[in-house]
Chain A
Amino acid sequence: TDSFDYTQYHTLSEIYSFQDMLVAENPKLVSKIVIGQSYENRPLNVLKFSTGGTNRPAIWIDTGIHAREWITQASGTWFAKKLVTDYGTDPALTAILNNMDIFLEISVNPDGFYYTHNNNRMWRKTRKPNSGSSCVGVDPNRNWDAGFGLPGASGNPCSETYHGPKAESESEVKAIVDFVKSHGNIKAFISIHSYSQMLMYPFGYTTTPAKDDAELHSLAEKAITDLASLYGTSYTYGSLIDTIYQASGITIDWTYNQGIKFSYTFELRDTGRYGFILPANQIVPTAQETWLALMTIMDHTNKNPY
């Protein structure tokens, strides 16, 4: 993985190969878990970074739930490499990994990602057909059982924010739900999107503040301050409904309702010129600055057990 080109976008098969290489190179630190299968039978791979122990408290990071947000899968790949290179050299990360496990799902929506490479670069949703409609796919970030179907998602299968026929109808979502429930000890859950330069916490479906609103707010402020320290990229932050718009059935509302206090979602950088076609030379700077914010959240999670 030293020769993997982190400055370029990669296909799904290249990312799968990268994951296997990383595991082969770091067998004592990294393993691959297949938590399920996509609609088109692709494996849902999760990299587990662990220094031992059983059922340690854990941090979950995912990228690429929306297929066309290529910067997220690319950043996830960079994070994976960063985790192995910094363990043992960076004191903060070493302390985290000596106490907690980190799970990283680089491509949450592999069918959609494959489709962006081969058929439609602008595809966002899953690839499951919708009964009674010619439109394909569900927005996997409206398919969670948290305010499912409330305002902030669409009931129209042709919409980019179609919530699906029922909560967890998408195998890509259900696989994470089952994993989180069976693990039972995940303490932070960070879901990464692009491109609005935001860091948000629950809720999206209601204006009622989360019980931990104050702590989530101050940690978000610290995280985006640390992020900005590298290249000056300015983020907005706050609860999702206050920061962006009402959205129902979203990932972090479900994880928060499961008791995962540090539930956050990122919208990575917006250069104001390219939208989802962020040039590849932006991958590493985006990943580098995001890493600083991730470290802030992970460090806080490690130092503030609950």
Chain B
Amino acid sequence: KESFEGHQVLRIIPKDDIQLSLIKELEDMIHFEVDFWKEVTRVNTPVDVRVPFHSLQSVKIYLETQGIEYSIMIEDLQVMLDEEQKEMMSVARAPEPRN
């Protein structure tokens, strides 16, 4: 099962067209292996992007050097997935229908 340990989801809000295109460029940097949960649309509309642990520092530096503000929407994705799984497992399942 794929682990998302250390992956963060960043919420980026582009302030102008230049920032929009810079965020779009991030999409083309395939070595970062980012996953856009919410694609780039327009100025002031949030972009959500999942960033693997190995790219976190590079992506954050890229955003910061370009003056693009972001916040961390999800601190550690795997923690949330573990909670989700735990919740699913803890629920008493309805009995399977009889054959």
Q: Which residues of A contact B (CB under 8 A)?
A: 3-5, 8-9, 14, 17, 20-21, 24, 118-122, 158, 160, 195-196, 244-245, 272-277, 279-280
Contacts and interface: CB of A to CB of B under 8 A. Distances in A.
A9 B84 contact: yes
B26 interface: no
Q: Which of A14, A20, A121, A245 has the most CB of B within 10 A?
A: A121
A158 B40 CA distance: 18
26 contacts: A3-B94, A4-B94, A5-B91, A5-B94, A8-B88, A9-B84, A14-B93, A17-B96, A17-B97, A20-B97, A24-B97, A118-B1, A120-B2, A122-B2, A160-B35, A244-B41, A245-B39, A272-B46, A272-B73, A273-B74, A274-B73, A274-B74, A275-B48, A277-B74, A277-B77, A279-B84
Label chain A's interface by main secondary structure.
loop
Contact of B97 (A21, A160, A279): A21
A74 to B, nearest CB: 11
A133 B46 CA distance: 32
B41 A277 contact: no
Contacts of A279: 84
B73 A122 contact: no
B37 A275 contact: yes
Contacts of B97: 17, 20-21, 24
- Select the residue from A119, A245, A277 with max chain B CB neighbours within 10 A: A277
B87 A8 contact: yes
B36 A160 contact: yes
Interface string B55-83: 00000000000000000011001001100
B32 interface: no
Contacts of A245: 39-41
B75 to A, nearest CB: 11
Contacts of B46: 272
A241 to B, nearest CB: 11
Contacts of A119: 1-2
- Summarize B's interface: helix, strand, loop or mixed: mixed
Given A160-B35, A274-B80, A276-B37, 11 more contacts: A17-B96, A20-B97, A119-B2, A122-B35, A160-B36, A195-B38, A245-B41, A273-B73, A275-B9, A275-B37, A277-B80
B27 to A, nearest CB: 9
Output the residue of A14, A24, A276 with the most chain B CB within 10 A.
A276
A58 to B, nearest CB: 28
Contacts of B9: 275
Contacts of B73: 272-275
A181 to B, nearest CB: 31
A267 to B, nearest CB: 9
Contacts of A244: 39, 41
Given A4-B94, A9-B88, A17-B97, A277 B81 contact: yes
A121 B4 contact: yes
A4 to B, nearest CB: 6
A287 to B, nearest CB: 17
Nearest to A13: B96
A196 B11 CA distance: 13
Given A17-B96, A277-B84, A122 B4 contact: yes
A281 to B, nearest CB: 9
Question: Which of A24, A122, A160 has most chain B Cβ within 10 Å?
Answer: A122
Contacts of A273: 73-74
A97 to B, nearest CB: 26
